[in-house]
Amino acid sequence: MVLRRILFLLSVITIMKYGKGQKSDNSSTEIPLLDNLNMPLVALFDTTKLNEVLKIAIQKTVEDTMNEMVPQIKQAVIKDIGNEPGRKRERPAFTASLTSSKSLASNEVVVFDKVWLNIGGVYSQDTGVFTAPKTGLYSISTTVMSYYAKYLHCFLWKNNERMVQAFGNNLSTGTLNVVMALKMNDKVFVKHAGGTEIIVGEHRSTFSGYLISK
Ligand SMILES: *[C@@H]1O[C@H](CO)[C@@H](O)[C@H](O)[C@H]1NC(C)=O
Ligand SMILES: *[C@@H]1O[C@H](CO)[C@@H](O)[C@H](O)[C@H]1NC(C)=O
């Protein structure tokens, strides 16, 4: 569609250039109608307004093209580098939450399925695991909410090491805010402990983190 419009413009510009070669602003053409009768057909075109009309047409075409192309280009860039253009240098960070309440089996990793932010693609919504993209100091937070009249036990894990606990009872939340020195490719996640328990969704349970410094 855009290409066709550009081709149309090119042909109009060619006509305009031809028209500029004429002495007057009007152009005419003579065509012999019959071999023996030299009767000319004279066609007059008022070309005085051509420039103005062309200017408007070009402006509109460029504007329409930009409006169509810019979102497509932006999407392609986001797909390619995983960030919005101009935010490439931003530090790794993620925020995720739980959409629906869920029954957790013994030792099940909590998969926070709704991803709100994932700069550098550091969090997996399939496994619930955050992988440190580089060695550094990280801030990690989680909030888990327990079901009505029930307990909920969750721990923060770093690779094979069980760390601090987030605990809830009867619609209360357990919250952790920790600073961790992580090596590149260290894995951090929230894992349920004990027997089957319910974690409340509706985005009341969250998991997030970001690189503080290298
Ligand atoms: C062009 O032709 C039109 C129609 O014949 C006429 O009214 C106009 O004055 C002409 N313009 C010029 C610049 O010759
Ligand atoms: C749960 O909390 C509600 C609201 O505070 C309270 O009314 C209820 O008695 C509690 N239930 C249990 C089993 O602790």
Q: How many CA atoms lie within 13 A of 129 on its CB side?
A: 13
Residue among 147, 169, 170, 171 to mutate when testing ligand 2 (max atoms within 8 A of CB): 170
Residues with Cβ within 8 Å of 117's Cβ and at least 6 positions away in sequence, in order, are 93, 94, 95, 208
Q: Which residue has the higher pLDDT, 82 or 47?
A: 47
Q: Is the pLDDT of residue 79 over 80?
A: no
Q: What pLDDT score does 80 carry?
A: 63
CB-CB neighbours of 56 under 10 Å: 10
Q: Where are the domains of the chain?
A: 2-81, 93-213
Residues with Cβ within 8 Å of 114's Cβ and at least 6 positions away in sequence, in order, are 96, 97, 98, 99, 125, 203
76 lines ligand 1 (CB under 6 A): no
Give dist(CA 154, CA 67) in Å, integer. Answer: 48
At 47, list the tokens.
Answer: 């070309």
The residue with tokens 């993620």 is: 94
Alpha carbon of 164 to those of 87, 141, 175: distances in Å? 33, 11, 10
Helix and strand counts by DSSP (H, E) for the chain: 2, 13
Q: What's the CA-to-centroid distance between 171 and ligand 2, angstroms?
A: 8
Give dist(CA 28, CA 163) in Å, integer. Answer: 89
pTM: 0.60
Q: Is the pLDDT of residue 32 over 70?
A: no
Residue 190: beta bridge partners?
Answer: 156
Please report, rounded to a whole number, the percentage of residues in the chain having pLDDT higher than 70. 72
43 lines ligand 1 (CB under 6 A): no
149 lines ligand 2 (CB under 6 A): yes
CATH topology of domain 93-213: Jelly Rolls (2.60.120)
